[in-house]
Amino acid sequence: LEKRETYAKTEKNGRIGGDESRIHVFVRLRPMAKKEKEAGSRCCVKIVNKKDVYLTEFANENDYLRLKRLKGRHFSFDASFPDSTTQHEVYTTTTAELVEEVLQGRNGSVFCYGATGAGKTYTMLGTLENPGVMVLAIKDLFTSIRQRSFDGNHVVQLSYLEVYNETVRDLLSPGRPLVLREDKQGIVAAGITQYRAYSTDEVMALLQRGNQNRTTEPTRANETSSRSHAILQVVVEYRVKDASMNIFNRVGKLSLIDLAGSERALATDQRTLRSLEGANINRSLLALSSCINALVEGKKHIPYRNSKLTQLLKDSLGGACNTVMIANISPSNLSFGETQNTLHWAYRAKEIRTKTSDTNEEVIEISETGTDQAKLLLELQKEN
């Protein structure tokens, strides 16, 4: 608690000490489902002050001071959303700021984490009536671009991919698996469709179509697999002229990630971890938990290379990026174990420190009146 209070004091816009920031972690509780009610479940999650999450094991457990002292029964996050929270509120609190940053040429990523059925896809994609973070972010992006009197040119490009069984697939034009390779911008899926987007209207339809292309479990034909990770990448490229008429090229990348179901895969003790690894349950999620552990423990070597997902998330977890994690949970006591596990990992993710994102900006042309500094930059670029 003491540590948290220190952060609250030194933190400015989520930054600590200027060049370091941490992953911002949020929790979203979904409403009780009909099925859960019918199974006679009761609510075992209590959110207090939009921040603290308490897990109650018994029906009349209301002594929060006592719960606070029990291990694994009380957690505190940047914000915790009760089941009445709207999609818009979730978007505004978690992601709106990142959209602004992307326009400034910084990278950002948001990932949803939690057991199958906890509300990840609802939060990320949503429905036609209640669009989620992915759609609201793109809508906001277009509004921002339109509202400002920019003197430059914006290009917004979308790509949507899936990681399933260590295979990367293009959700916008399904076909052969894609190969990951490293370039200037980090790890990219070679040959992925870059969809030029001009308005929000087309985006929801596009993403829904993409989601239908997600791998389905052979036994449950209509349900998308709980083992598929979906990643939407939005790249915003902007050419801007400064006061001295120098032209800069600015690129920002926003990654929005709907992770596979965390059930079983993120066991907390090493023995279960290993046996699951043998069974090859979800290599990518296991690798994610190893990376989180290594980052929290301040290890030199972070095992990003162990899976496709962690390769793709490398610059979101340890690199220069503004990162947000939304942990989704069910209110039902029948999911007590899963919920506790999700909260445990989300809480741990709070300890990760990332470098603050640099602006991806370069001088590409200098006017006659260009400053000496800009000229120097251009010289340096030529030399490289």
**Footprint on this chain of ligand ADP (rule: CB under 6 A):** 30-31, 33, 114, 116-122, 328
Contact 246, 211 (CB under 8 A): no
Ramachandran class of 17: left when φ > 0, alpha when ψ lies in -120 to 50, beta otherwise: left
Residue nearer to Mg ion on the CB measure, 121 or 322: 121
The residue whose two tokens read 């999650």 is: 45
Residue number of the CB atom closest to ligand ADP: 119
Residue nearer to Mg ion on the CB measure, 121 or 310: 121
Burial string for 186-223 (b: 16+ CB within 10 Å, else e) reads bbbbeebbebebeebeebbebbeebbebbbeeeeeeee
Partner from ligand ADP, Mg ion, none binding residue 197, C-beta < 5-8 Å depending on class: none
Contact 363, 133 (CB under 8 A): no
Taking the complex as a whole, the smallest distance from the CB of residue 123 to ligand ADP amounts, in Å, to 7
Residue nearer to Mg ion on the CB measure, 94 or 215: 215
For residue 276, the number of C-alpha atoms closer than 13 Å in the C-beta half-sphere is 20
Residue nearer to ligand ADP on the CB measure, 90 or 156: 90
Calculate Rg over the CA atoms of the chain: 22
Site string for Mg ion, 106-125 (x = CB under 5 A): --------------xx----
Residue nearer to Mg ion on the CB measure, 90 or 236: 90
Partner from ligand ADP, Mg ion, none binding residue 31, C-beta < 5-8 Å depending on class: ligand ADP
Mind giving me the DSSP string for 217-237? PTTSTTSBPTT-EEEEEEEEE
Residue 311 touches Mg ion, criterion: CB under 5 A: no
Taking the complex as a whole, the smallest distance from the CB of residue 229 to ligand ADP amounts, in Å, to 11
Partner from ligand ADP, Mg ion, none binding residue 117, C-beta < 5-8 Å depending on class: ligand ADP
- Residue numbers at the binding site for Mg ion (CB under 5 A): 120-121
